Amino acid sequence: MKKIVFTGGGSAGHVTPNLALIARLKPLGWQIDYIGSQGGIERDIIGREAIPYHPIASGKLRRYFDLRNAKDPFNVLKGTLQAYRLLRRLRPHIVFSKGGFVSVPVIVASRLCGIPVIAHESDFTPGLANKISMPFVSRLCVTFPETLEGAGDKAQCTGLPIREHIYRGKAIQGRSLCDFHSQKPVLLVMGGSLGAQKINQAIRGALEPLLERFQIAHICGKGMVDETKTGIRGYRQFEYVSEELPDLLASADLVVSRAGSTSIFEFLALRKPMLLIPLSRQASRGDQIWNAASFEKQGFCHVLQEEELTPESLVREAERAYRSREAMAERMAAAPYRDGTDAIIELIEQFRLR
């Protein structure tokens, strides 16, 4: 019996790439367990997959002053002991970590149990959890070629695992969902739940000129639908999408989005031209700025910094990106790391045999 334990959580970006690997490993005969936090988003996501889920304590590893920082080391220690007992009982051949705070105690416990760990870093620069865990992992998979510089001999550029259902979208279904026709290009806007308000405001402030060129499907975030604009022809709002996302992506001629690594690598896999608006340094550690800069350097996207975002600049940059869409798609087609699923599956099998 081939056994693997997955870990990772805190955000959907630390879970959904795991789902891409799980879907491929199941038919290969792997027995799969998941170790996550007690109340994190990963518990809900994995709960829908019929996979044994084991909650443990974890700390948040904050970079800023907070009184809770005093007790979180004890949560990490408690989580490490819980993970150690779980791993001794489950006895997996390998642990795969997608990062996030809950992964630290699991990785440390794996080292104590002598179990090899493959970790994955989606962003251009490693997050704090992966930085702390680096001494304890056997291999670190990265998505950006530039990340290899200074990452040491443990690092390997594989790209990001992409969920298979993303490839199954149908453009005609996406247009039908929005009541769009095929005579005008579709602009898909994905503000996301974090920092969506600024993109939402810019899109709605630019609706009139944008609708002259595009039909707009706007995923605006929970509670952020503008009811005063629900009847505008060619403009369709969604709070959130799940099963509909592949169809909406298939219908899109240009995507306007934040620069979270999971999303932009899915766009890359589908060869969707992008206009990226990364979160500012005031709202993040700057990882999205680096992600977007790498994609822009490789010719996969255009970038509009949040500090420069206005309705006028959005219209201008969307027009410019749309004119460059064919060149962007050609460069994306030639990218060597569009989908990292096969490379990581091969790596998992190699470590099992060691």
> CATH number of the domain that 13 lies in?
3.40.50.2000
Q: pLDDT tens, 92-146?
A: 999 999 988 899 999 999 999 999 999 999 888 887 888 889 999 999 999 998 8
Q: pLDDT tens, 214-224?
A: 999 999 988 88
Work out the average pLDDT over 147-163: 87
What is the number of domains present in the chain?
2
Using the predicted structure, report yes or no on whether residue 329 has a pLDDT greater than 90.
yes
pLDDT at position 2, please? 94
Find the domain containing 312 and state its range. Answer: 165-333
Do 204 and 347 have their domain in common? no
Do 18 and 83 have their domain in common? yes
Using the predicted structure, report yes or no on whether residue 196 has a pLDDT greater than 90.
no
pLDDT at position 337, please? 84
Do 181 and 154 have their domain in common? no
Which residue has better confidence, 265 or 127?
A: 265
Q: At 305, which amino acid appears? A: Q
Do 133 and 173 have their domain in common? no
Do 88 and 126 have their domain in common? yes
pLDDT band at 192 (very low <50, low <70, confident <90, very high): low
Do 270 and 212 have their domain in common? yes
pLDDT at position 271, please? 97
Q: pLDDT tens, 43-102?
A: 988 988 889 999 999 876 555 555 566 667 788 899 999 999 999 999 999 999 998 889
Residue 281, SS3 per DSSP: coil
Work out the average pLDDT over 159-185: 96
Do 222 and 322 have their domain in common? yes
Do 236 and 157 have their domain in common? no
Give the Cα separation of 353 and 156 in Å (integer).
Answer: 19
Give the Cα separation of 285 and 303 in Å (integer).
Answer: 18
Do 206 and 72 have their domain in common? no
pLDDT at position 128, please? 80
Q: pLDDT tens, 197-216?
A: 899 999 999 999 999 999 99
Residue 193 in tokens? 């739940």
pLDDT at position 245, please? 94
207: number of Cβ within 10 Å = 18
Residue-wise DSSP of 136-184: G-SEEEESSGGGGTTS-TTEEE------GGGGG--HHHHHHHHT--SSS
pLDDT band at 193 (very low <50, low <70, confident <90, very high): low
Mean pLDDT across the chain, nearest whole number? Answer: 91
Do 199 and 238 have their domain in common? yes
Give the Cα separation of 110 and 315 in Å (integer).
Answer: 50
Using the predicted structure, report yes or no on whether residue 230 has a pLDDT greater than 60.
yes
The model scores a pTM over 0.75:
yes
Do 140 and 14 have their domain in common? yes
Which residue has better confidence, 309 or 41?
A: 309
Do 345 and 234 have their domain in common? no
